[in-house]
Structure 1
Amino acid sequence: MVTKIDHIGIAVKNLDETLKFYEDVMGIKCTSKEEVEEQKVRVAFLPVGDSEVELLESTTEDGPVAKFIEKRGEGVQHIAFKVDNIEEAIKDLQEKGVRLIDEKPRYGAGGARIAFLHPKSTSGVLIEISERD
C-alpha cells in the first residue's frame, strides 16, 4: 500500500522567515509555494531526495495549523505516506479498523489527493496518505 514517505509537514508561524533557515542554513531550496484555501494554509515545498519537507503556515486564526501551533507550538504536524491508489488505501484502512478523519479523498497541496488518519489510531501521530500523478 505505502510506497514511500511523500513528505513531512511542519507547522510554522511565519513561512518566509522559516524558509530563510531551510534555504540559507540547510541549503534546501524551495521549489514552489501555494495557498490551499480549503485547508486554510500557505505551503512551501522543499524537496530532499525523493521526499519533501512541506512548511505550513495558517492563513486564518481558526485554521487547523493555527490550532496545532496554539496547542503544541511549531513543529512536525504530520507525516505523509505516498500510496498508488488512495481509494483502495482508504478501504483497506477501514477494513482494518483504523479511525479516519477523511473517509473520502480531498484536495491537498501540490495537486495531491489526500486523506488523514486519526491520531487516536496511530499512536498520536497525524498521518496523511497521499496520491499524486
Structure 2
Amino acid sequence: MMRLEHIGIAIADAEKSQRLFNRLLGKTTYKTEKVDAEKVTTHFYDLGNTKLELIAGHEEGNVIDKFIEKRSEGIHHLAFEVDSLQEEIKRLKEEGFDFINDVPKRGADDKLICFLHPKTTNGVLVELCQSM
C-alpha cells in the first residue's frame, strides 16, 4: 500500500517561512529535526491525512541550498509511505524506475527513506519512506 505521507518544501529562511505557514495553516509545527547526514533542518506540520515538511539547509553544501539556487524555493518532493521499502524498491526497479539512492537511509520523522530519480518520474522528486 502507498499513501501520500508528506509534501516537502524547500525554504531559504526557516523563521520567515514558518511565520508564513503558521498564518496560512492556522497552526504551528509539531516537530523540528536536524538531519545532519543531509545538512538540513526539517519543520513538520500535521495536516490530518498528510504532513507538510519545510526543509532548510543548516550547513554549506546541502541539497536544499543547491535546489533553491537552481529552481528557487518551492515544492521539493512528494513522499509516499510504503509498508516495505525493500519490496517497493524491487518492484519499482522491475518497472524500470531509476533511483538516486536505492539503499534506504535514516531520514527525518523516524523514517527510512530513498529517492527515485526525477528523470523517470516526469521531473518530480519522489521519496519513498517507511516508519522505523
TM surpasses 0.5: yes
TM-superposed deviation, 1:24? 2.5
Q: TM-score, normalised by structure 1?
A: 0.95
1:128 correspondence with 2:127: yes
TM-superposed deviation, 1:41? 0.4
The CA distance in 2 between the partners of 1:28 and 1:76, in whole Å, is 20
Residue aligning to 1:64:
63
Aligned length: 132
> How high is the sequence identity, in percent, across the aligned residues?
38
CA shift digits 1:4-32 (9 cap, x unpaired): 10000000001111111111232132001
1:45 correspondence with 2:11: no
The CA distance in 2 between the partners of 1:25 and 1:125, in whole Å, is 25
Residue aligning to 2:4:
5
Structure 1: 5+ residue stretches without partners: none
Residue aligning to 2:79:
80
The CA distance in 2 between the partners of 1:17 and 1:78, in whole Å, is 20
The CA distance in 2 between the partners of 1:103 and 1:25, in whole Å, is 35
SS in 1 for 2:119: helix
CA shift digits 1:87-130 (9 cap, x unpaired): 10111111111010111101100110000000000000000001
> Partner amino acid for 1:32?
K
Task: Assess if the C-alpha contact under 8 Å between 1:31 and 1:45 holds in 2.
Answer: yes
Q: TM-score, normalised by structure 2?
A: 0.96
Residue aligning to 1:118:
117
Structure 2: 5+ residue stretches without partners: none
The CA distance in 1 between the partners of 2:83 and 2:119, in whole Å, is 25
The CA distance in 2 between the partners of 1:122 and 1:28, in whole Å, is 32
The CA distance in 1 between the partners of 2:48 and 2:102, in whole Å, is 30
Moved beyond 3 Å, runs of 4+: none
> Partner amino acid for 1:28?
K
Task: Assess if the C-alpha contact under 8 Å between 1:11 and 1:74 holds in 2.
Answer: yes
TM-superposed deviation, 1:77? 0.3
RMSD of aligned residue pairs (Cα, Å):
1.0
